[in-house]
Amino acid sequence: MAKAAKPLTELEGTTALPRAVPRGGPGVAPCGACAVRPLAICAAMPLEHLAQLAAIVTSVSLTAGQPLFLEGEPARHHFIVTGGALKIYKLLSDGRRQVTGFVFPSDFLGLANKETYAYSAEAMTRTELCRFRREKLEAMLDRFPQLERRLLAVANDELAAAQERMLLLGRKTAKERIASFLTTLGRTTSRRGESKQVVTLPMSRTDIGDYLGLSTETVSRTFTELKLAGIVRLEPKSRVRILDDRKINLLAECEDATLGL
Amino acid sequence: MAKAAKPLTELEGTTALPRAVPRGGPGVAPCGACAVRPLAICAAMPLEHLAQLAAIVTSVSLTAGQPLFLEGEPARHHFIVTGGALKIYKLLSDGRRQVTGFVFPSDFLGLANKETYAYSAEAMTRTELCRFRREKLEAMLDRFPQLERRLLAVANDELAAAQERMLLLGRKTAKERIASFLTTLGRTTSRRGESKQVVTLPMSRTDIGDYLGLSTETVSRTFTELKLAGIVRLEPKSRVRILDDRKINLLAECEDATLGL
DNA sequence: CGACGTCGTTGAGCTATGTCAAAACTGAGC
DNA sequence: GCTCAGTTTTGACATAGCTCAACGACGTCG
């Protein structure tokens, strides 16, 4: 849980506090050398104008558990994650929580927001991000249609993923949810080059439960079930090794399960 | 349920069948006179170039129960609904179904699709749509950045709505789901000018169940509960009258419940 | 206008998953 | 290596919502 750390935006807003968090201003973290650029929307930026992007970015970093922003705050920034991992979530007034997504390096963070943030975002590990003032990034979109096109594609993908999640939340059993979770996470981490057989879970059981619409206990029990069935092995450091690819994909029941991937 | 009618795209694809369904080609349904344009993305089209939009549109109509397209088919078209109502849904291999959305006049239909449709779409009542070949609409986006900007805004809104639905599906009780459903539907229909107190439900109890992640029986029971609690009245012609605005908003627990609207 | 098929409602019992509580593990610091 | 706080796992029990089944309402079509 959040350790009552103040959200970044508050720390910085209009106050004159020492800027503890941003690590560098324009030019300090040149986009040209960015490791996640090929996968991020920045890849759509024409190389010769990359400096314009670098000129409006601020690099920020968060420690585990630190909120980036809270639902309902004025949405002043967009972000691109360069390292670490965050969760985004919505709360009900009595504390029930739905984690609506996990955000990883190269992901764009800021869609779905209007005047205010539509959800809260909190770092799960030490996290690095590029921060853009909204107006400035949007002006950039005007100037570089390729960038806007790319953002639309990202929104499209997220929309498709959201519908997949609705199917999961509305109609899948606990076992299917966990299986889908593992295969989907495996697919996204392998997109960034890592093995698909070993999935690292930077989030707690509670977060997984709140993501899948289950209780912590059910998540835990279901992991044990999958373990006893020989489908996964639970390894140290929050790693899960997928032992039986076919079975877990069958359980996950995503259309692409039949691909046997 | 679908009456085994063939999806529109099949009926028309490359075959030489008489085009029974499209009601008019370019120019026949001039965008200038379109009743939903002010609310649809077409509103972002500069008036003086509206003819270009009209030039690439085909008007199609569906009868109740007729599929527009099926999940997995090549996604050749985008649509804008001009009349009626559709449901979009995803299926699991054993027939479990998640209705991921209802689509009403002025809504854009086509986001979230990649090469193939990410979900199936089926008319719930007699429905009229404008149909655009994907490439052509996308070429239009290139030419009219305002249009693309508008589409991005739509995607944004849908993303926010999707997250709200995840909260509903993952964490709300049956009563809260039905209450949220009614208030949200009331809000969208009032956007198109109708009363907010009387909500018309063009969809069956089964559809509502598949939309909210509940069984038909639970939907039905919950409606009766709300009725007995004096919160709604069930009227003929699938209408629901909201008697106690405050209570239903409290139940719905959407952040804006506190607005008392 | 009456019969039929579909859809919605109600009832009764079942089960997957939630809740509460305690035990076992894990990792950070000392 | 030991301790402590937090997390995960396991257990026992409770329950919201599901399933199966019957009944009722309603619109449609002959």
Q: State the CATH number of the domain containing residue B201.
A: 1.10.10.10
Query: CA of B99 vs C1' of D24, distance in Å?
Result: 28
Give pLDDT tens digits for A42-78: 999 998 899 999 999 999 999 999 999 999 999 999 9
Q: What angle do CA A217, B100, B191 make, to 5 degrees?
A: 120
A140 and A226, same domain (yes or no): no
User: Quick check: A8 and A127 in contact, CB under 8 A?
Assistant: no
Q: What is the pLDDT of residue B32?
A: 85
Give pLDDT tens digits for B126-154: 999 999 999 999 999 999 999 999 999 99
A36 and A141, same domain (yes or no): yes
Residue B149: give its domain's CATH number.
2.60.120.10
Q: What is the pLDDT of residue A31?
A: 86
Two structure tokens written together for B133? 């070949």
Distance (Å) from the alpha carbon of B111 to chain A's nearest alpha carbon: 6
Looking at beta carbons, which residues of chain B come within 8 Å of A111? 155-156, 159
Best CA proximity match to B112, nearest among B81, B154, B148: B154
Q: Which of A96, A125, A155 delimits the end of a domain?
A: A155
Q: What is the pLDDT of residue B82?
A: 94
Domain count, chain A: 2
Give the confidence band of A123 by pLDDT, cuts at 50, 70, 90.
very high
SS3 at position B33: helix
**For residues A169-179, average pLDDT:** 96
A251 and A126, same domain (yes or no): no
A133 and A197, same domain (yes or no): no
The reply to whether residue A98 touches residue B72, judged by beta carbons under 8 angstroms, is no
Protein residues in reach of strand D (CB < 7 A)? A 1, 204-206, 216-217, 219-221, 223-224, 234, 238; B 173-175, 213-215, 217-218, 236-237
**Range with lowest mean pLDDT among A12-16, A56-60, A170-174:** A12-16
Residue of B141, B157, B166 with shortest CB distance to A166: B166
A97 and A177, same domain (yes or no): no
B30 and B108, same domain (yes or no): yes
A27 and A105, same domain (yes or no): yes
Q: What is the pTM of this model?
A: 0.86
Quick count: other Cβ atoms within 10 Å of Cβ B48?
7
pLDDT reading at A168 higher than 80: yes
**pLDDT tens over chain B, length 261 residues:** 333 444 444 433 333 333 334 554 444 457 888 999 999 999 999 988 999 999 999 999 999 999 999 999 999 999 999 999 999 999 999 999 999 999 999 999 999 999 999 999 999 999 999 999 999 999 999 999 999 999 999 999 999 999 999 999 999 999 999 999 999 999 888 777 667 788 999 999 999 999 999 999 999 999 999 999 999 999 888 889 999 988 999 899 754 434 333
User: Quick check: A147 and A41 in contact, CB under 8 A?
Assistant: yes
A71 and A14, same domain (yes or no): yes
- Residues 6 or more apart from A260 whose CB is under 8 A from it? A245, A246, A249
Percent above pLDDT 70 for chain A: 85
A82 and A150, same domain (yes or no): yes
Q: What is the pLDDT of residue B21?
A: 47
